[in-house]
Amino acid sequence: MYPCKFKKTEVMVHYRGDLSIVFGGAAGQGVQTIADALVSLLRTSGYHVSACTEFMSRIRGGSNSTEVRIASCRRNAFVRRIDLLFALNAEVLEHLAERITPETTVFAEKEGRGDIEALRVIDTPLAEFAREAGSPVYANTVAVGVVLGILGIRLEGFRDFLSGQFADKGDDVVERNHKAADLGFRFGREAAERESLSVTLPAPEEKLGALLLNGTQALGIGAVSAGCSFISSYPMSPGTGLLTFLAAHGPRFSIVVDQAEDEIAAINAGLGASYAGARALVTTSGGGFALMGEGISLAGIAEQPVVVHIGQRPGPATGMPTRTEQGDLNLVLYAGHGDFARAVYAPGTLEEAILVMQRAFETADRYQVPVFVLTDQFFLDSVMTMPKESVPDLSLDRCIVRSDAGYQRYRFTADGVSPRSVPGHGDGVVKVDSHEHDESGHLTENFSIRERMVSKRLQRLEEMKQQAIRPSWYGNPSASTVVVSWGSNRGVVEEALDLLQHDDNIASLHFSQLYPLHADAQTLLEGRHVVVVENNATGQFADFLHREYGIVAARRVLKAIGEPFAVEDIMNVLQTSGGEA
């Protein structure tokens, strides 16, 4: 017996505007295939669309789901509400029971829906139609056809999509997919009429011209545009996607790809490539990054630029490897023994992901420091639209000098940044050392030189603060309550504020650079009621704001169960207390 039971009635159900469609099933049932096809079709048809996925860490079985949203404007946030639910097995209904309401219409196989009684449960013979089309594997195509029939979207675009997708498998496979789509479409259209189910979609934009990207692809585009020429990684979800993306496009952009034997090898390979003059990138997750501490410290004393991407997931240890969290901020802020400069970024939109990767490589090169880019599973796997014209593009400026015979790799300078050359680029010898060293790179234990070297490595932080990305304000500049977020929580907070338009007393401040903080951050927060939203158990960024600026969060809104914040979560916090503790 499932916990959600609602009596079926005969009233018309009408969904207007923003629509949440969820597909659920076991791993191996093709839930993601359905969502990918639908999202692509909707974007081509001119709709603002986004999708996010939650899945278990298993190859078969379990219960996975993907939420597809169609909205009147760009959205990149998870909503708890389900308008249309397509359940490919009965376990989905139990798994998503808390999200099913009297307003949810459920499409499920008659024999596989268990005891659930919802406001509207429509028997949907996906398996029967798939067999009629020629094979059970066509159930995914049937499901997409059903959705298009319900939404009233023409089938021609899907037929064209199928023709292109399966062209290499022969005409017979293409025709069978067309038949499956036709059967599903006809069922969806008839079911909507028979069940008094009405859906009004936002008006499509004829010239939407939007790219359809997930967070991983946006990071990859940013890395390519920044001139990344080397990537090393020991695969670890969810950071592996960046490795595979750059591996797929590596030959076109002359990127050397190294799948290392472990994380220690990965960071050291990145440093070696950097020493040779490459713009080097390492991608991992929290558990993998924990093994890189010695290499990060080596980058600090050798003043060797490297960019490290950390796709966060719940820890400690293996934790929940396919879920999401923002629990590794402290890890990257304090990684590596000893004191040395660093920078930390955390994008919240596709545009920010591209921009941040460009800034990360620029910062690493310019200031000769390790730079960390924090994302999370929700951001990396979520799919969103982005206008082509909004792709940011920074100029590519390499900070490498030609060495002369008297070249000193660690020469003391006014700004603390020594001239960096690479082997073979000039007449000088480029010496680097993991020990403390003098200006030429020779080992030393001279106390005076040691003091000056430590100061030199930290001095560049002052200029890095001046060049930091300014946090993004959203809402009334005079609001007395400000909701602070970082990384992937930007979309959910800003959408919640949009839905609370009547309350001009609440605004938001989003940080895409976490260290060093922009100087304006303190001014923007002082004298206001500060609410910090983050996906970890202790409020790591709230603690950091307190340490850096003395800003005390009046309230911490925290979540560390492996699920992203929903728009409803943030709205409830702000509505019930106005953001006040």
**pLDDT, position 487:** 97
The reported pLDDT for the residue numbered 580 is 53
For 552, counting Cβ atoms within 10 Å of its Cβ (0-12 exposed, 13-18 middle, 19+ buried), the class is exposed
Which residue ranges does the chain devote to CATH 3.40.50.920?
Answer: 472-577
Tally of CB atoms within 10 A around 519: 12
Domain 212-390, classified CATH 3.40.50.970, yes or no: yes
- Please report the pLDDT score of residue 469 as a whole number: 96
Query: Tokens 């010898």 — which residue?
Result: 429
Distance CA 220, CA 357 (A): 8
- Note the Cα 354 to chain centre separation in Å: 12
**Per DSSP, which regions of 260-336 are E strands?**
280-285, 306-312
Strands 48-54 and 84-87 come out as unpaired
Task: Summarize pLDDT for 249-301 with one digit per residue, the tens.
Answer: 999 999 999 999 999 999 999 999 999 999 999 999 999 999 999 999 999 99
The type of residue at 101 is T
Strand pairing class (472-474; 506-511): antiparallel
Q: Which residues pair with 515 in a beta bridge?
A: 344
Half-sphere exposure of 99 (CA within 13 A, CB side): 24
Q: Which two tokens stand for residue 499?
A: 């839905």
pLDDT in tens, the chain (581 residues): 233 333 344 445 666 678 999 999 887 777 888 888 999 999 988 889 999 999 888 777 778 899 999 988 889 899 999 999 999 888 888 899 999 988 899 999 876 555 555 557 899 999 899 999 999 888 889 999 999 999 999 899 999 989 998 999 999 999 999 999 999 999 999 998 888 888 888 888 766 668 899 999 999 999 999 999 999 999 999 999 999 999 999 999 999 999 999 999 999 999 999 999 999 999 999 999 999 999 999 999 999 999 999 999 999 999 999 999 999 999 999 999 999 999 999 999 999 999 999 999 999 999 999 999 999 999 999 999 998 888 887 777 889 999 999 999 999 999 999 999 999 999 999 999 999 999 999 999 999 999 999 999 999 999 999 999 999 999 999 999 999 999 999 999 999 999 987 678 999 999 999 999 998 889 999 999 999 999 999 999 999 999 999 999 999 999 999 999 999 999 999 887 555 54
pLDDT of residue 5: 39
Calculate the alpha carbon distances from 511 to 310, 400, 530 in Å. Answer: 17, 30, 14
Q: SS3 of 557, please?
A: strand
What pLDDT shows up at residue 488? 98
Q: How far from 495 is each of 77, 440, 498, 571, CA to CA, in Å?
A: 8, 54, 5, 9
Does the domain formed by 13-200 have CATH 3.40.920.10?
yes
| C-alpha count within 13 angstroms, C-beta hemisphere, residue 198 | 8
Measure the CA–CA gap between 147 and 70, rounded to whole angstroms.
12
pLDDT at residue 12, as a whole number? 56
- Which residue in 481, 527, 523 sits closest to 504, CA to CA? 481
The pLDDT score that the predictor gives to residue 358 is 96
CA distances (Å), origin 326, targets 378, 438, 521: 10, 39, 20
Q: How many CB atoms lie within 10 A of CB 450?
A: 14
Q: What is the dihedral of CA 212, 214, 218, 220, to 10 degrees?
A: -120
Q: Name the strands in the sheet holding 529-534, side by side, starting at the edge strand that comes first in the sequence.
A: 472-474, 506-511, 481-486, 529-534, 555-558
Cα–Cα distance measured from residue 115 to residue 536, given in angstroms and rounded to the nearest whole number: 36
According to the model, what pLDDT value does residue 14 have?
63
Q: CA 55 to CA 57: how far, in whole Å? A: 7
Within the chain, all domains assigned CATH 3.40.920.10 are found at 13-200
| Dihedral (CA of 373, 378, 380, 382) sign | negative
Q: What local confidence, expressed as pLDDT, does residue 577 receive? A: 59
Q: Measured at the alpha carbon of residue 262, what is the angle toward residues 258 and 264, in degrees to the nearest 5? A: 95
Distance CA 92, CA 24 (A): 6
Place of tokens 């924090």: 374
Which segments of the chain belong to CATH 3.40.50.970? 212-390
Question: Domain 472-577 falls in which CATH fold?
Answer: Rossmann fold (3.40.50)
- Taking the C-alpha atoms of residue 109 and residue 96, their distance in angstroms, rounded to an integer, is 16
Peptide bond preceding 316 in cis form (omega within 30 of 0): yes
* Phi-psi category of residue 203: left, alpha or beta, with phi > 0 → left and psi -120 to 50 → alpha: beta
Q: How far apart are CA 3 and CA 351, in angstroms?
A: 41
